[in-house]
Amino acid sequence: MVPAGHRIGLVRADAGFCVTAFFTALEARELPYIIVARLTPLVRKLVIHRIPEIEWQPVTRGIAVADVMATLPAWRGQARRFVCLRQTLTERPAASGRRLLECPGYTYRVFITTVPFAAELVTRMYAGRADCENRIKELKEDLSLDTFCLQSFDATDAAFRTGCVLYNLLMGFRETVLPSCWFERRLRAVWDRVFLVGADLIPNARRLRVRFAVPPEERPEFLQRLRTLSEGIPIAAQLEWKLTDANETNQAAGQTANVPVSTVPPSPYTPRASP
């Protein structure tokens, strides 16, 4: 277990970074790391085949872990810790990892690490990296941060960091305002369906009304979250406004509507919408 209150900066990388110079650079900076090892014949011989069956510790059904100290010729005698993850195909047919001809019935993943925790915890710590690829994809594809390059490196870096701030704001908006069914949707969906075509502004009895395009099943939670958000906005306390559902508002008038609404009185600084 990680001691309470103990935080470390951890480098997690795939097999593309399994290079001696990279290990040396991290260790010189005293940065802990977990890096996927390339399962070359030499690694299989010096690591996997050296682990006795009795040393494989079961984690859950079909999963076992083990660790061993070993050195490779390129390391010039320096030993490093290898943590091995083995999954049984009969119990986990869809298991990820590398299948080895000399060890049928299993898949293997091997990590090189300086983290001193138990082997099971090391594999779990690396597994947290998997979601990073989704965040990178959203930054590149949803916010188009990979489509520009400024003349100055510092300017490009500043623009990218500004895009990361925008990403965090959008994530906060999605988790604070939108219904829970939106949590698994890409930020592109939030951008297209909420910020671009999510609402319109109409005049109604000398008042301005904002109509949100929210499906009926999502309206109660949407309005609840919007009310919660408005309580934390200072300008909202200065406005005379209310949040209502159009269905509830128009029932007394015998009308039907299918969008939730937010109404605010017209401001002398706000242009009136045309009929």
Strand segments (E) across the chain: 11-13, 33-36, 57-60, 63-70, 80-88, 98-100, 103-113, 199-204, 207-212, 242-245, 260-264
Per-residue pLDDT tens digits for 93-146: 888 888 888 888 899 999 999 999 999 999 998 887 767 777 777 888 777 777
Amino acid 268 reads P
Tell me what pLDDT residue 67 has.
93
Question: 242 pairs with which residues across the strands?
Answer: 263
Is pTM, for the whole model, over 0.75? no
Per-residue pLDDT tens digits for 47-69: 999 899 999 999 989 999 999 99
Does 218 have pLDDT greater than 70? yes
